[in-house]
Structure 1
Amino acid sequence: MGQLLAAWRLIRRDLRRHPGETLLFLLAVTVAATALTLGVATDDAVTTAYAKTRAATAGPDILMTTTDPDPADYVERLRRIPEVRAVGGPFFAYDTTVGAHGRSVHAGAEGRDGTRPAVDRPLVTSGGWVRPGGVVVERGFARELEVRVGDRVTVGGREMPVVGTAISAATGVYPWSDRAQGPGPSDWGGMVWLTDEDARALAGDDPGVRLIQVKLADPDATDGFGDRLRERGVVPDGWFNVLRWQNILRTDTAMIQGTRPTLVVGGTLLAVAAIVTLTALAVGRTARDNRRAALLKVVGAGPGTITAGLLAQYLLLTVLATALGLTAGTLAAPHFVDPSDGLLNTASAPAPGTVLSALALAAAVAGTGAIGPALRATRFSTVHALADPAHLLTHHPRLNAVTAYLPTSLLLGVRLLARRPGRAVLAGAGAAATAAMITALLAWYTALAAAPDALRFGPLEVRTDRTGQTLLAVTLTLVALSTLNTVLLGWSTAVQARRALTISRTLGATPGQVVTALCVAQLLPAVPGVAVGMPAGLGLYWLFGETYTPPASWLLAAAAGILAAVAALTALPAWVHSRSPAAGVLHSES
C-alpha cells in the first residue's frame, strides 16, 4: 500500500505541474486508438446496424422477384412449406425515374396499402406512411435528392408531395435500393413507396414485377432455398429471382470497402506518429526522471519499484486514452458504415476483438515511448543524477575528419545528429509516416481522375465521397500530429544542445548558422524518411486499391513541401534559443 500511495502522489504531482505533457500524451494515444477502433469496428457496425434494421422492420430472409402478373397460387404454396414462417406480398413494383431540384434519378416504385404485412414493414423515420397522391422516399435516397417531408418530387413525370421517409431491410442502402427491376441488366437507383392504386396508375402499360418476402423459421437456412423451391415445383419455370438477406448485408458492407483499409492503415501510421510524440516527451523529461529515480534509490527503493513508479502515470493515461479512443470510435462508427443513411445507425458496445485491438495498440504505443526511458532512469548513476554534472561527449575522430571541411552550419548539424542517433530515427519515422499517407492520398486522387463517370458523378459517388473524406481526415490528423512532433523534437534538440551551440557562437558561429545547424539536424533524417515513406505509401495503396501512380511532379512537390515544413517548424524554436545571450547561457549551465 505504501508503494501504491507513493506512486499515486508522484502521478498527481506530475499531472498538476505538467498538464501540457499529460494532454499531449492523451491526444496522441487517443487519436491512434480512435482510428484503429473505427477500422476494426466498421464491419461489426454494419452487421449490427443491419440486424437492428431487420428487427425493426420485420425484414425478410428471402426476397423474391417475379414477372408473373398473378403469383397468388405459389404464394399460397410457399405458406404451406414447413420451413417458412411467414410470407409478405406479392407487392406490385415497377422501374421509373424520380426527379427533384432539376435532377432525375433512376428508382423503383413499390405499391403498398394501409395494412401492415407480416414481412417487410418499412420503418417511417419522418412524416407518415403512404396515402393517395403522396410518396414515401427511402431515407438514403431522400438525402441524395435533398428532399424532406412536404417537398414535391416527380415520379414518372407526375408531381407528388413527399409525405414521409422510411428505411427497409428488404433492400440495400442507396444506391443499391432499387429492387423493382426485371430480367436483364440492372442499374443503380433508389426506392419509393406509393399506394398500390397510384403505383399501377403511374406504371401505365409497364407490367412491372411482383415482390414476395419470405421469413424462415431458421434465418440462417437460406442457402439453396430457391433451388429447393424449383425442385418441389413451388415456383414456375419462368424468370424468378431469389435474393438472400446475406446478399443484402454484403452489398451494404461494400459501402465501406474503401474506408476500412484507410482507417486501419491510417491508425497504424498514427500509432507511429504517437510513438514519436511520446518519445519526444520522454526525452524532455529525462533529467527529471533521472533525478526522481536517484532520490528513490537514496531512500531504499529497488529497481522494480522505481520502474513501476515511473511507468504508473503512463499506464493510467494509456487506459484513459484507450477508453476515450474506444468511445469516440464506437460513436463515430455508425456514421462511417452507412454514408447513404439507409440503416438504423445506433451506437452499440464495441466487440471484444475491437477492445483487445485498441488495448494492444495503446499498450504498444505507450510501452515503446515510455519503457525505454524508464529503464534507463533506473540504471542511471545516482551520484551523477543528483549532482547533474556536464555530460562528456563521445569523441568521434572519423566523424571529425569527415566534417572538418564542411560549411559551419552543416558541420554543426551533422555533429548534433551523430550525438543523438535515436532522435534521428524518430524524425525519420515521423517523416516516413507522413509521406506514406500523403502519397496514398495523391494516388487516390489520381485513381479518381481516371475512374469512370459512374463512380465520380453517378449514384456510387456517395461511396466515393466517403472514402475520400476518410482518407483526407486521416491524412490531416497525421499531418497535425507530425507537426507537433517536429516542434517537440526541434525544441528538445535546441534545449539539449544549447550549451554546445553557445560555445560555437563564442568561437565565431553566427545565430543564423546555429539556426541552420538545428534545421540540418532535423532535415538530414527527414530526407531518407520521405524517400522510404513515399514508396511505402504507394505500396499500401496498391495493396488495398488499384495500381495508380501520381504524377512525378505531384510527388516531388509533396516531398519538397514536407521537407520545407520540417525546416520551418524547426527554425522557430531554434531561433528562440539563438536569441539568448551567450554569457547568460554559459553562466546558467555552470
Structure 2
Amino acid sequence: MGHLLLTGRLILHDMRRRPGESLMFLLAVTLATSALTLGLATNDAVATGYAKTRAATAGPDITAITTASDPSALAERLAHTPGVAAQADPVFAFDTTIGAHGRTAHSSVEGRDSSPSAVDRPLVTSGTWVRAGGAVVERGFAQALGVRVGDRVTVGERGYPVVGIAISAATPVYPWSDWAQGPGPSDYGGRIWLTTADIRATAGDTPGVHLIHLKLTDPTATRRWLDTAFTPENRDDFWVNTHDWQTVLQTDTNMIEDTQPALVVGGWLLAVAATVTLAALATVRSARDNRRAGLLKAVGAGPGTVTAVLLAQYLLLTCLATALGLAAGTLAAPELVDPSAGLLDTVSPPDSGTVLAAVLLAVVVAVTGALGPAVRAARTSTVQAVVDPAHLLTHHPHLNAVTAYLPTPLLLGVRLLARRPGRAVLASAGTAATTVMVTALLTWHTELDAAPDFKRFGPIEVRTDQTGQVLLAVTVALVALSTLNAVLLGRSTAMQARRALTIARTLGATPGQVVSALCVAQLLPAVPGVAVGIPAGLGLYWLFGTQITPPGTWLLSAALGVLLAVGVLTALPAWIHTRSPAGRTLNAPAA
C-alpha cells in the first residue's frame, strides 16, 4: 500500500510540474488508437447503420426489376412462391436527368402513393412525404445536389418543389441508387419520389421499369429463394433483374474500401510516430529520471520499485489514451462510413477484436518507448544516478579513421550519431512513417488527376473525396507528430551532447559548425527513412489501390521537403544551446 501511495504521489507531482509532456504523450497515443479504431470499426458501422435503416424503412429482402408494361402476372407469381412473407405493389420508375442549382445528374424517379407501403417505406428525415406537385429526394442525392426542403428540382422538363428528404434501404446509398435504367450498361445516379399521378405525367412516353419489393420468411435464404423463383421452367418473356439485401449491403460497404486501409495503416504509422515521441520525451527527461531513481534507491527502493515508479505514469497515460482513442474512433465511425448520408447513423460499442488491437497498439507504444530508459535508470548505480557524471565516450578506432578528414560539422555529427544508434533508428522510423503517408497522398492526387472527367461522377467523386480527406487528416497528424519529434530529438541530442560540443567549441569549433553537426546527426538517419518511405508508400498504395506512380519531380520535392523540415526543426533547439557561454555549460551542476 505504501508503494502505491508513493507512486501515486510522484505521478501527480510530476504531471503537475510538467503537464506539457503528459499532454504530448496523451495526444500522440490517442491519435494512433483513434485512427486504428476507426479503421477496424468501419465495417461493423456500415452493417449496423444499414440494419438500422432497413428496420426503420421496412427494407426489402429481394427487389425484382422488370421491363414488362404490365407486371401484375410476375407480381402474382412471385407472391405465391414459397418463402414470401410480404410483397408491395409494383412501383413504376423511370430514369431521367435531374437538375438543381446548376447541377445535373441521372436519377430514378419512382411513383409512390401517400399511404405507407407494405415493403420499402422510406423514412422522411426532413419535410413531408410525397404529395401532388411535390418531390421527395433521397438524402444522399439531395446532399450531392445541394438541395433542401423548399428548393426546386427539374425532373425531365418539369419543375417540382422539394417537399421532403428521405432515406431508404431498398437500394444502395447514392450514387448507386438508380435502378430504373433497365437492361444494358447503367450509369450512376440518385433516387427521387413523386406521386403516381405526377410520375405518369412527367414520364410521358419515356420507357420505364417496375420494381417489386418482397419480404421473405427467411431473410438469410435469398439465394436459395431466387434459385426457386427463377428457374428455366418459369422463365418470363420479358427482362427481369433481381437484387437481394446482401448485395445492397456489400455495395454500401464498397464506399469505404479505400478509406479503411488508409485508417488502419495510418493508425500503425501513427503508432510508430507516437513511439518516437515517447522515446524522445523519455530521453529529454532521462537526467531527471536518473536522479529520481538514485534518490529512490538511496532511501531503500529496489530496482523493481524504481522501474515501476518510472513506468507508472506512462502506463496510466496509456490507459487513458486508449480509452479516449476507442471512444473517439467509435463515435466518429458512423459519420465516416456514410459519406453520402444515405444511412441512419448509429454508434455501437467496439467489438473485442477492435479493443484488443487498440490496447495492443498502445501497450507496444508505451513499452517500446519507455521501458528501455526506465530499466537503464533502475540499473544505474545510486552514486552515478545522483551525481550524474560525464559519460565516457566509447573508443571507435575505425570510426576515428573514417571521420578524421571530414569537415568539422560532418565529423561531429557522425560521432554524435555513433554514440546513440538507437535514437538514430527511431528518428529514421519516424521519418519513414511520415514519408509513407506523404507518398500515398501524392499518389492519390496523381490517380485523381489521371481519371477522365466522366469517371469522376458518382462513386469516384464521393469515395475519392472521402479517401482524400482521410489521407490528408492522417498525413497532417503524422506531420504534426513528426514536427514534434524532430524538435524533441534535436533538443535531447543537444542537451546530452552539450558538454562534448562545448569542449569542441573551446577547441575552435564555431557555433555554426556545432549547429550544423546537430543537424547532420538528425539528417543522416532521415535520409534512409525517406529512401525507404517513398517505395513503401507506393507499395502500400498499389496493394490497396491502383498501380500508379506520381511524377518523379513530385517525389523528389517531397523527399527534399521532408529533409529540409528535419534540418530546420533541428537547427532551432541546437542554436538555442549554442548561445550559452562555454564556461557556464562546463561548470553547470548536474541536472
TM range (shorter): over 0.9
Per the alignment, residue 343 of structure 1 pairs with 343
Which whole-Å CA distance do the structure 1 matches of 2:49 and 2:28 have between them? 30
Q: Which residues of 2 match residues 445-484 of structure 1 at below 5 A?
A: 445-458=445-458, 460-484=460-484
Per the alignment, residue 383 of structure 2 pairs with 383
Per the alignment, residue 146 of structure 1 pairs with 146
Which whole-Å CA distance do the structure 2 matches of 1:561 and 1:481 have between them? 16
How many angstroms does 1:57 deviate by?
Answer: 0.5
- Say if 1:226 and 1:75 are closer, same or farther in 2 by CA, change over 3 A: same
**TM-score for both structures, normalised by structure 2:** 0.97
2:408 touches 2:513 (CA, 8 Å); kept in 1?
yes
Which whole-Å CA distance do the structure 2 matches of 1:259 and 1:479 have between them? 19
- The answer to whether structure 1 residue 120 and structure 2 residue 120 are counterparts is yes
Per the alignment, residue 215 of structure 2 pairs with 215
Per the alignment, residue 135 of structure 2 pairs with 135
How many angstroms does 1:542 deviate by?
Answer: 1.1
Offset from partner CA, 1:286-327 (integer Å, 9 cap, x none):
122222223333333333333222222111111110111111
How many angstroms does 1:528 deviate by?
Answer: 1.2
Which whole-Å CA distance do the structure 1 matches of 2:301 and 2:237 have between them? 85
**Higher mean C-alpha displacement, 358-367 vs 229-238:** 229-238
- Give the secondary structure class of the aligned counterpart of 2:571: helix
2:113 touches 2:130 (CA, 8 Å); kept in 1?
yes
How many angstroms does 1:82 deviate by?
Answer: 4.4
1:49 touches 1:343 (CA, 8 Å); kept in 2?
yes
- Say if 1:242 and 1:335 are closer, same or farther in 2 by CA, change over 3 A: same
Which whole-Å CA distance do the structure 1 matches of 2:454 and 2:471 have between them? 20
Per the alignment, residue 276 of structure 2 pairs with 276
Per the alignment, residue 323 of structure 2 pairs with 323
Per the alignment, residue 174 of structure 1 pairs with 174
**Partner letter of residue 418 of structure 2?**
A
**Higher mean C-alpha displacement, 233-242 vs 501-510:** 233-242
Which whole-Å CA distance do the structure 2 matches of 1:155 and 1:575 have between them? 67
Offset from partner CA, 1:102-137 (integer Å, 9 cap, x none):
222110000001111111100001010000000000
**Higher mean C-alpha displacement, 133-142 vs 525-534:** 525-534
2:278 touches 2:370 (CA, 8 Å); kept in 1?
yes
How many angstroms does 1:75 deviate by?
Answer: 2.7
Q: Which residues of 2 match residues 223-234 of structure 1 at below 5 A?
A: 223-231=223-231
2:50 touches 2:249 (CA, 8 Å); kept in 1?
yes
Which whole-Å CA distance do the structure 2 matches of 1:397 and 1:496 have between them? 22
1:148 touches 1:162 (CA, 8 Å); kept in 2?
yes
Per the alignment, residue 518 of structure 1 pairs with 518
Which whole-Å CA distance do the structure 2 matches of 1:235 and 1:339 have between them? 39
**TM-score for both structures, normalised by structure 1:** 0.97
- Give the secondary structure class of the aligned counterpart of 2:174: coil
Q: Which residues of 2 match residues 353-364 of structure 1 at below 5 A?
A: 353-364=353-364
How many angstroms does 1:383 deviate by?
Answer: 1.8
Which whole-Å CA distance do the structure 2 matches of 1:14 and 1:339 have between them? 44
Which whole-Å CA distance do the structure 1 matches of 2:503 and 2:297 have between them? 35
Q: Which residues of 2 match residues 160-199 of structure 1 at below 5 A?
A: 160-199=160-199
Offset from partner CA, 1:81-109 (integer Å, 9 cap, x none):
44221111211111111101122211000
**Partner letter of residue 69 of structure 1?**
S
Offset from partner CA, 1:59-86 (integer Å, 9 cap, x none):
1111111122222344344334442211
Per the alignment, residue 530 of structure 1 pairs with 530
Which whole-Å CA distance do the structure 2 matches of 1:4 and 1:338 have between them? 47
**Partner letter of residue 390 of structure 2?**
A
2:175 touches 2:458 (CA, 8 Å); kept in 1?
no
How many angstroms does 1:22 deviate by?
Answer: 0.4
- The answer to whether structure 1 residue 577 and structure 2 residue 589 are counterparts is no
- Give the secondary structure class of the aligned counterpart of 1:460: helix
Per the alignment, residue 562 of structure 1 pairs with 562
1:174 touches 1:340 (CA, 8 Å); kept in 2?
yes
Which whole-Å CA distance do the structure 2 matches of 1:234 and 1:15 have between them? 76
Offset from partner CA, 1:47-66 (integer Å, 9 cap, x none):
11101100110111111111
Q: Which residues of 2 match residues 216-295 of structure 1 at below 5 A?
A: 216-231=216-231, 236-295=236-295
**Partner letter of residue 404 of structure 2?**
A
Offset from partner CA, 1:363-393 (integer Å, 9 cap, x none):
1111111111121122111221122222211
Which whole-Å CA distance do the structure 2 matches of 1:63 and 1:27 have between them? 48
- Give the secondary structure class of the aligned counterpart of 1:536: helix
Which whole-Å CA distance do the structure 2 matches of 1:469 and 1:455 have between them? 19
**Partner letter of residue 54 of structure 1?**
R
Per the alignment, residue 103 of structure 1 pairs with 103
1:128 touches 1:164 (CA, 8 Å); kept in 2?
yes
**Partner letter of residue 419 of structure 1?**
R
**Higher mean C-alpha displacement, 570-579 vs 460-469:** 460-469
Which whole-Å CA distance do the structure 2 matches of 1:72 and 1:457 have between them? 36
- Give the secondary structure class of the aligned counterpart of 1:335: helix
Query: How many residues are aligned here?
Result: 590
**Partner letter of residue 193 of structure 2?**
W
**Higher mean C-alpha displacement, 20-29 vs 375-384:** 375-384
Offset from partner CA, 1:413-472 (integer Å, 9 cap, x none):
111111111111111111111111111111111222222323334553111111111111
* Aligned-residue RMSD, C-alpha: 1.6
Per the alignment, residue 444 of structure 1 pairs with 444
How many angstroms does 1:230 deviate by?
Answer: 2.5
1:229 touches 1:235 (CA, 8 Å); kept in 2?
no
User: Which blocks of at least 5 consecutive residues in structure 2 are unaligned?
Assistant: none
Offset from partner CA, 1:153-179 (integer Å, 9 cap, x none):
100110110001100000111110112
Which whole-Å CA distance do the structure 1 matches of 2:245 and 2:221 have between them? 11
